Structure 1
């Protein structure tokens, strides 16, 4: 038995090592980035909805552990430091990232009156751990567990309440949205009705949860893993906001930034909004997901994403007519001289 375990471990390490070697050595040709407009220095930002941080202080519970049907789940809770019950947003991190790599987005929402719960998924904690998870559970296993993590949080709100009454009394359980970035964006979309093919079969992965009333998807994938395909969003029932940028490319998988807008184009008509910002990459420089990148931060682009995502959430979760009117207008494109534009279909 010990010999078998050592052999299995050796094979496992070789597989992971080979994958890492492939990623580091066999690099495809880089993608030529298009010229991009910058934010006008004299732009009058006062007419952009939700641009400034809100007035509410943000409280953070750095680590909570929820015992679920699938094992323990670690998450961070963010809530406004004021009395009241606020809409709940479940946030799913990108592949190989972690629950604390998106504070610059999450804190903006919370300061305007939202509660956010953000878990670590199986693939959290860096490339090596992510590859280990993919190898152990398969792409489909990891993909399906991610939305289950968010569903487990909703099912476990009473257990979280027992851990923190301060958190519990600020959650309005009747108003729930899902959100995420990259792989996490598709996770959030799955709760809204998106699905994925299971390679070699006629079945599809589905984890729709009718408690989800809106979806915010930062840079969601186009075709991925032979699982996400052009049909993946045709049954989405929840309204969604999709965001991407003209530098949102990756040489191995997404050589055209427009692939990240596929879910906007393929989603059910009448439920989709899209934010596109000029010269914006997958990580807003180094402001989300991969904070260790040694590149220039794209602060203007993140500011636009925070404002538009807040407007979308306010319109969908709070019924704010001013937010709806802003999204339907050409205000953003006009003020930013085309640096940032919102579309709806």
Structure 2
């Protein structure tokens, strides 16, 4: 079990964070056990649970339970129990699963991983030291970055058609009350015309019209995923524009696909390294989720007001 100190975005005070991994969950039919990391504040009870789905990425370890420490630590310091699975798509497993059904993206299994975690919250509490009795099983949210954003969107209610079977899939997880999509993929169809589009045929039929769960969509205004589409950065705002209310769009100024460096501290894959942007993202997403999960909490309103009062705002917010 490791510990670190991060800053609570509300008080600005250092908050000790405890992180424990791996917690190993046996899942019948899964080719390998499901391993997760749990990060929590050192103190506090009734902690809301925040599931974090990693992206696909090109790194060997950041796309696993070992990545996304910049956000996981900020969220834990803000009072969340952050649970990070290693999906089957992780490069840490690719040497074992290259020929497994669903490879290399395992897009359906990724969503199912999150439901398995929720089924085993009691086991997580009993396994992780100093966690027993501290989780609020009724306040659950999901966040996902890049391919993890696609995973999160399915859990929040978006639907897609399995390209192998032609069956429409509904993977919505009703225990999840709110979500955050970070640089998530947008619509499919004719707009998927980039050189890698054929590799992600499961994006083709994504339907955001059924994504009814309250969601904050985060997009970088410099995040041009030309390997998938020539639409430009606006593609990542599709989950906001094409889903029904209530939805919120946070556009981060100057942000590229790693949104300032969320996948790891000083990570080589980050093209727009900006610790201040990551801190702002942690502060804003924490505030949004607190308000969504706790009726009467005004953290999000206050965070939005702070965003518009500065001379150099990190981004802009739109609502519907």
State the TM-score, normalized to the length of structure 2. Answer: 0.82
Contact 1:333 1:339 survives alignment (8 Å): no
Residue 94 (structure 1) aligned with residue 70 (structure 2): no
Equivalence for 1:73: 34
Gaps in structure 1 of 5+ consecutive residues:
1-48
Contact 1:245 1:280 survives alignment (8 Å): yes
Contact 2:55 2:147 survives alignment (8 Å): yes
Following TM superposition, by how much is the alpha carbon of 1:308 offset from its aligned partner in structure 2, in angstroms? 1.2
Contact 1:241 1:275 survives alignment (8 Å): yes
SS in 2 for 1:281: coil
2:146 to 182, 185, 189: 182
Following TM superposition, by how much is the alpha carbon of 1:230 offset from its aligned partner in structure 2, in angstroms? 6.8
Q: Which whole-Å CA distance do the structure 2 matches of 1:219 and 1:199 have between them? A: 23
Superposed CA offset, 1:68-127 (max 9, x none) = 23431011011111141210011110014122221111111111211011010001126x
Q: 1:70 to 1:167 in 2, by over 3 A?
A: farther
SS in 1 for 2:185: coil
2:203 to 205, 219, 228: 228
Superposed CA offset, 1:159-218 (max 9, x none) = 223323622322111111111111111211211111212226542222111100001111
Equivalence for 2:221: 246
Contact 1:190 1:208 survives alignment (8 Å): yes
2:94 to 105, 111, 129: 129
Q: Which whole-Å CA distance do the structure 1 matches of 2:255 and 2:132 have between them? A: 37
Superposed CA offset, 1:31-81 (max 9, x none) = xxxxxxxxxxxxxxxxxx936655531111021111123431011011111
SS in 2 for 1:303: helix
Q: Which whole-Å CA distance do the structure 2 matches of 1:134 and 1:268 have between them? A: 37
Give the alignment's Cα RMSD to 1 decimal. 2.7
Contact 1:56 1:82 survives alignment (8 Å): no
Residue 264 (structure 1) aligned with residue 240 (structure 2): yes
Following TM superposition, by how much is the alpha carbon of 1:342 offset from its aligned partner in structure 2, in angstroms? 1.0
State the TM-score, normalized to the length of structure 1. Answer: 0.76
Equivalence for 2:196: none
Q: 1:249 to 1:162 in 2, by over 3 A?
A: same
Q: How does 1:323-334 map to 2 (within 5 A)?
A: 323-326=299-302, 329=304, 331-334=306-309
SS in 1 for 2:203: coil
SS in 1 for 2:213: coil
Q: Which whole-Å CA distance do the structure 1 matches of 2:167 and 2:305 have between them? A: 42
2:256 to 271, 281, 293: 281
Equivalence for 1:22: none
SS in 1 for 2:100: helix
Contact 2:258 2:271 survives alignment (8 Å): no
Contact 1:330 1:342 survives alignment (8 Å): no
Q: Which whole-Å CA distance do the structure 2 matches of 1:231 and 1:125 have between them? A: 25
Aligned residues: 293
Residue 144 (structure 1) aligned with residue 104 (structure 2): no
Q: 1:76 to 1:148 in 2, by over 3 A?
A: same
Contact 1:119 1:149 survives alignment (8 Å): yes
Gaps in structure 2 of 5+ consecutive residues:
1-7, 58-62, 189-199
Q: Which whole-Å CA distance do the structure 2 matches of 1:266 and 1:59 have between them? A: 38
